[in-house]
Amino acid sequence: MCDTSATLVVFERRFVFSLLQEWVNRFDDNVSSSWYAFLEDHITEQIVSSTDEQPLLQTPGEVFELRKLLPASMPYDFNIHVMDFQPGEFLNVKEVHYNQHGLLLLEGQGIYRLGDSWYPVQAGDAIWMAPFVPQWYAALGKTRSRYLLYKDVNRNPL
C-alpha cells in the first residue's frame, strides 16, 4: 500500500466541440467559425479529496475495485479512474473501447495485453492505448496492483 499522497491539478475546460459546427462544416467548406463553443454555464469545480474517500463503483461480472476521481459531467472531457486488483485477479473480458486511454501503474505488477502483444508491467510503467485496440490485464505477484487510468469522455469519438 502507498503511504504517500499525491495532488491532481485539473485545468478548467471552457470549450466543447460544437456538434452544430460539425454538421455545418459537412455541407459548407467555407465556414470559418470555430469548431468549439464556449461553455458559459459549465464550470469545473475544485476537487480536493483522497482516492480512498471515493465510493467504489459497481463492476458487474468483474472482481477489481473501481473508483472515479472526477465527476462525469460536461465540463470534463476526460475522467480518471483508480483500479485495484488483488494478486491473481484479472479483467474477465478482453475490452475494446472507442476512446483512447492512458494508464500509470502505481503499485504492483502484472501483464497487459494490447492487440496481440503481451507486456509485463510494474509500478511506474505507463501505457497509452489507442481507440479500438483490444486490451486485457492480470495482476501478478504477491501484492495488490493499482493503476490510474485516464479516459476520454464527453467527446465526439470521430
**pLDDT at res. 37:** 52
Beta carbons of 68 and 60 less than 8 angstroms apart: no
Written out in words, the top-level CATH class of the domain with range 73-157 is: mainly beta
Closest to 16 measured CA to CA, from 34, 30, 37: 37
Cα distance between residue 137 and residue 124, in whole Å: 16
Domain boundaries, the chain: 73-157
Beta carbons of 83 and 106 less than 8 angstroms apart: no
Q: What is the pLDDT along the chain (158 residues), one digit of tens a residue?
A: 455 555 544 444 444 444 444 544 555 554 444 444 555 666 666 777 778 888 888 888 889 999 988 777 776 777 888 999 999 999 998 988 888 889 999 999 999 999 999 999 999 999 999 889 999 999 999 999 999 998 877 766 66
**pLDDT at res. 5:** 52
**pLDDT at res. 89:** 96
Residue 92 phi, psi (nearest 5): -75, -15
Cα distance between residue 128 and residue 125, in whole Å: 10
Helix (H, G, I), strand (E, B), or coil: what is residue 84?
strand
> Please, what's the b/e burial string for 87-111 (b: 16 or more CB within 10 A of its CB; e: otherwise)?
eebbbeeeeebeebbebebbbbbbe
**pLDDT at res. 17:** 47
pTM of the model as a whole: 0.71
